[in-house]
Amino acid sequence: CEPGNIDERPTVKKKIRIGNAGGYWGDDLDALRRQLVGGPLDYETMDFLAEITMSILRKQQLRNPDLGYAGDFLTQLETCLPLAMDRGVKIITNAGGINPVGLGRQIVKLAKRLGYDLKVGVVYGDDIAGRLGELTAAGEKFTNMETGARFAGVQDRISSANVYLGAEPVVTALDAGCQIIVTGRVTDTGITLAPMIHEFGWKMDDWDRMAAGIVAGHIIECGAQGSGGNITDWQDVRNFHDIGYPIIEMKGTGDFTVTKHAKTGGLISEKSVKEQLVYEMGDPAQYISPDGVAFFDTIRVEDKGRGRVAISGVRGGPAPEMFKVSMAYD
């Protein structure tokens, strides 16, 4: 506020619509355009980073230091940036991979060429491949979480090492007014949770709301898997060729609805949502992310018909004390 003005919090939205237009590097190149033209959205998210993708991007960067990000995102932005700007949709993606700063610079160049003065946010710092010696000397053991194997056996063969960051740095970029945000290894759920924290003013230690955002992000993080692409009863799904990608309508209370644009293929139903919920879930009572732990065994899923599924009752607990690191080695 200007000096002398009353310090008032801006009006908080009652509901925001967050879509997804990609669940992995190599997903449908037309999904972003279809989401932007299909109906109103506040945010669009895109996830590019499977674990193996990081090692592939590292190999790219070793051949050319300017690479290391998902170039498919730039390809889509060429035609979709005007759509997003005209509709006021902010885009958040982890397409930055190993080189988010490099991708950010390319987006700025593209925007200028298309005539837009764009504010781009870049989240980096997750890449610790060059700091492993320093960190092990300081006492970090990097013990394998699944097998208990010692790090020393592979330390000299590591090609990539990335910390799973959460929503917090993305929220900082949104608070700074960024219209497009690219990140390195921010979690698939974190890029969806961040707009909720930003818009509703949620506290980072409000564990139930953090958990609700994590669950919402998990449902849409894999693109069309959450809208019929991953359902066992495939015969119930109409028009796979024009499948609609999922959308979250989130309320400030933490209750939300899963849907998709009208007149698109695919299926949003209790079955399709539940099947995506159990995908890569692990312990349902302890779905762990850097933003908190979501208790999947508290979730209430209610089919409202007409392609709308309501989610409520999500509970959560404190975030773990340490971050997880994904590594690849030769």
240 vs 308, higher pLDDT: 308
**What are the residues whose beta carbons fall under 8 Å from the beta carbon of 291, sequence distance 6 or more?**
166, 167, 168, 187, 189, 190, 193, 204, 210, 213, 214, 319
- The Cα 72–Cα 75 span in angstroms is 5
Sequence-separated contacts (24+) of 4-10 with Cβ below 8 Å: 9/201
Q: 195-251, pLDDT tens digit by residue?
A: 999 999 999 999 999 999 999 999 999 999 999 998 999 999 988 889 999 999 999
CB of 25 within 8 A of CB of 49? Answer: yes
Residue type, position 53, single letter: T
Taking 60 as the threshold, does the pLDDT of residue 8 lie above it? Answer: no
* Confidence class for position 52, pLDDT limits 50, 70, 90: confident
CB-based contacts of 325: which residues, under 8 Å, 6+ apart? 128, 142, 161, 162, 163, 164
5 pLDDT band (50/70/90 cuts)?
very low
pLDDT of residue 4: 42
Asked if 29 and 223 count as a contact pair (C-beta separation under 8 A), the reply is no
The whole-number pLDDT of residue 281 equals: 87
| pLDDT of 323 above 60 | yes
Q: Give the angle subtended at the CA of 101 by the CAs of 98 and 105, to the nearest 5°.
A: 130
Under the banding of pLDDT at 50, 70 and 90, the label for residue 140 is very high
Tokens of 254: 């933490």
HEC readout, 187-217: CCCHHHHHHHHHHHCCCCCCHHHHHHHHHHH
Cβ neighbour number for residue 127 with a 10 Å cutoff = 21
Region 90-112 average pLDDT: 97
Cα-Cα end-to-end distance for the chain: 54
Paired tokens of 306: 């007409």
Q: What residues have CB less than 8 Å from 263, skipping those under 6 apart?
A: none
Please compute the mean of the pLDDT values over residues 268-281 and round it to a whole number. 95
Percent of the chain with pLDDT over 90: 90
* pLDDT value at residue 175: 98
Position 134 pLDDT exceeds 90 = yes
Q: What is the pTM of this model?
A: 0.94
Output the pLDDT for position 10: 58
The mean pLDDT value for 256-269 works out to 97
Q: How confident is the model at residue 101 (pLDDT cuts 50, 70, 90)?
A: very high
Residue 157 pLDDT > 90: yes
Looking at the chain, the whole-number percentage of residues with pLDDT higher than 70 is 97
pLDDT given for residue 214 in this prediction? 98
Q: 283-300, pLDDT tens digit by residue? A: 999 999 999 999 999 999
Residue 86, CA atoms < 13 Å, CB-side half-sphere: 10
Distance between CA atoms of residues 21 and 88, nearest Å:
16
Cβ neighbours of 215 (radius 10 Å) = 25
Average pLDDT (34-62) is 94
324 confidence band (pLDDT: 50, 70, 90): very high
In this structure, which amino acid lies at residue 107?
Answer: I
